[in-house]
Amino acid sequence: MKPHYNVLVVGGGTGGIMTAAQLRRKDKKLSIAIVEPNTSHFYQPAWTLVGAGAFKFADTKRDEKKLIPPGVDWIKDYVTSFDPESDKVTTKSNGNISYDTMIVSAGIQMDIDAMPGLREALKTDKVCSNYIDPEKTFRILKEFKGGNAVFTQPATPIRCGGAPQKIMYLAEEFFEKSGVREKTNVVFATPGTVIFGTKVFADELNRILKKKRVNFKPFYKPISIDSAKQEITFQYVKPETKRTGADLDQTVNEKLTGDNLVTMHYDMLHLAPPQSAPEFIKQSPFAHQEGPNKGWMNVDIHTLQHPHFKNVFGLGDSAALPTAKTGAAIRKQAPIVVENVMRILQSLPLSEKVYEGYSSCPIVTGYGKMLLCEFKYDNVRDSDPILSKLVDTTKERWSMWVLKKYGLPWLYWNMMMKGRM
C-alpha cells in the first residue's frame, strides 16, 4: 500500500475491478488501488438459477485476490469517511489514503430491517430470498406442497429489478414438474404499475404470465410480514384508488386490514428485501441529500462525474442513475468512467462519449427459456443490433437460456473482470 495513488477505486465488485483492469490496460504506469474488505467475489446474476436448482452456488464464487488486476494494489479495508476537499479517504485500519482521481463503485446493501418482520421471517422455513441465500430458495421449492406461493419486491431501488419475477417463472414450472401446481396459487405482487417498463418486452411477459396462470398484482407495495401467521401485508398504492372488501381476491384469501392495506396468507414467500446505498455512501458528501435519490451517489447521468468534485466518478449500484442496477449496465458505464478518468489525469476535457443508460435484464421465463430485455434511459428499447438480426430478442428463447447459463458467466470471469470488454 502507498499513501497516494493516481486512481483510488472504492469497491472491489464488478464496477471496481472492471474499471481498474481497463485503466491498467490503457496505462501500466498508473498507480491504482482498490479498497475492498471482502475476500470473496460472487457472480450474483447466477443466483436466480441457483435458487431453481439449475446452477451450483459454489460456481458463483471466486477469491477476490485472484480477480485483482496485476499491478493494482488491493487494500483489504473499509472506507470510513471521505474528504474530497483534500482528495483523501480515511480507512478503518490503514488510515488516510490520498488520490488524484477516485472511482466509487460501492454496490448496494440489503436493508433487512426496513420491512417490519422480515428479519424474523427469513429465519423460518417458509420465507426465502435469492438476494440472500439462493440455496435456501431451492430447499423451500422442493419442500412446497401447495397453497399460496407469493413472490414480491419492495418499492426501493433493487439490484437487478427483474430477479424477483425470474424465480417466480422458474418456481411455477418447478411446481408443475413436482406435481403441486394444480393446488398452488402463484402470485406476483409488485409496487410497479406494469410487469416491465419497456412495452415490447412487457407484451411478451404479459403473455407468459397469462400462459402460466400467474396472479399478477401491480400497485402492491409490501410493508410488513407476520411470520407467526404466515401473512404478508401490502399497501395498495394505485393513485386515487381506495380498496374495498368487494375488490379483494378471494382466490388467495386477501383481507382488508387497514386503509388500502391488503393482507395475504402465504405458504411460501420469496422476496427481494428493501435495499439502499451503503451507510458510508449515505453519510458521504457525494450523496444526494434530499429528494427521491436521497442517500445514493450523485453523478451526472451521462458522464458519471460528480457535479461538485470533478475528479470523482461513480458507477454501479450505489450511483443514482435512472436505469436498472445490473452488471450489464456497469459494462457500459465502465469505459465512460475510464476514458474520463484518463482525461482528468491529463488535464483534458471530458470525452464526448456518454453513457445513455443502457442496461440489460436477462429474464429467465422457465427452464430452458429466457427473454433478453435490453433498454436505456426512459425505457427505450436498446437491443444489440447484431444479435437482434440473428434472434428475435422480444420473445423467450432457448438460445438466450444458453447465453444466461453458460455464455454470460464465461464472459464475466474471462472478459469483464479482465478489462477486455
Any idea which residues carry the catalytic annotation?
Answer: 160, 361
Contacts of 143 by beta carbon, 8 Å cutoff, 6+ apart? 125
In whole angstroms, what is the distance from residue 421 CA to residue 419 CA? 6
Helix or strand (DSSP H, E) at 411: helix 408-414
Q: Looking at 255-358, which runs of residues are DSSP E strands?
A: 255-258, 261-265, 268-271, 275-276, 312-314
In whole angstroms, what is the distance from residue 314 CA to residue 321 CA? 10
Helix or strand (DSSP H, E) at 170: helix 163-178
In whole angstroms, what is the distance from residue 146 CA to residue 362 CA? 28
DSSP class of residue 69 equals: P
Classified as helix, coil or strand, 407 is helix
- Closest alpha carbon to 41 in 420, 421, 416, 357: 416
In whole angstroms, what is the distance from residue 369 CA to residue 372 CA? 10
DSSP class of residue 253 equals: T
- Closest alpha carbon to 263 in 244, 241, 237, 235: 235
Contact 196, 169 (CB under 8 A): no
Classified as helix, coil or strand, 74 is strand
